[in-house]
C-alpha cells in the first residue's frame, strides 16, 4: 500500500489518507485479530453464542408482534 504526496500536500493529510486506506482495506482489523492466538473451540463457542443471541432476539420480536395482534 502506498500513498504518493501530491503537490502542496502536507504530511499530515497524506498520513490521514494512508490511514483511511488501511481502514478501508481491513488490514488493521486483521492485524488486531491475529495479534494473539484464539483456540478453535473458543471461536466455535463464540459463534454459537452469537447464534443463540440472534435467535432469542428474533423469537422475542415474534412474540411481541403476536401479542399486538
SS (H, E, C) the chain: CCCCCCCCCCHHHHHHHHHHHHHHHCHHHHHHHCCCCCCHHHHHHHHHHHHHHHHHHHHHHHHHHHHCC
Reported as a single tens digit per residue, the pLDDT across 13-40 is 999 999 999 999 999 889 888 899 989 9
Q: Is the pLDDT of residue 12 over 90?
A: yes
> What local confidence, expressed as pLDDT, does residue 3 receive?
86
**pLDDT: is 54 or 69 the higher one?**
54
Domain boundaries, the chain: 1-36, 37-69
Amino acid at each position: 500500500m502506498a500513498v504518493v504526496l501530491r503537490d502542496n500536500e502536507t504530511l499530515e493529510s497524506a498520513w490521514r489518507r494512508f490511514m483511511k486506506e488501511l481502514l478501508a482495506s481491513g488490514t488493521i482489523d486483521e492485524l488486531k485479530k491475529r495479534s494473539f492466538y484464539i483456540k478453535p473451540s473458543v471461536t466455535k463457542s463464540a459463534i454459537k453464542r452469537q447464534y443463540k443471541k440472534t435467535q432469542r432476539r428474533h423469537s422475542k420480536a415474534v412474540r411481541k408482534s403476536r401479542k399486538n395482534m
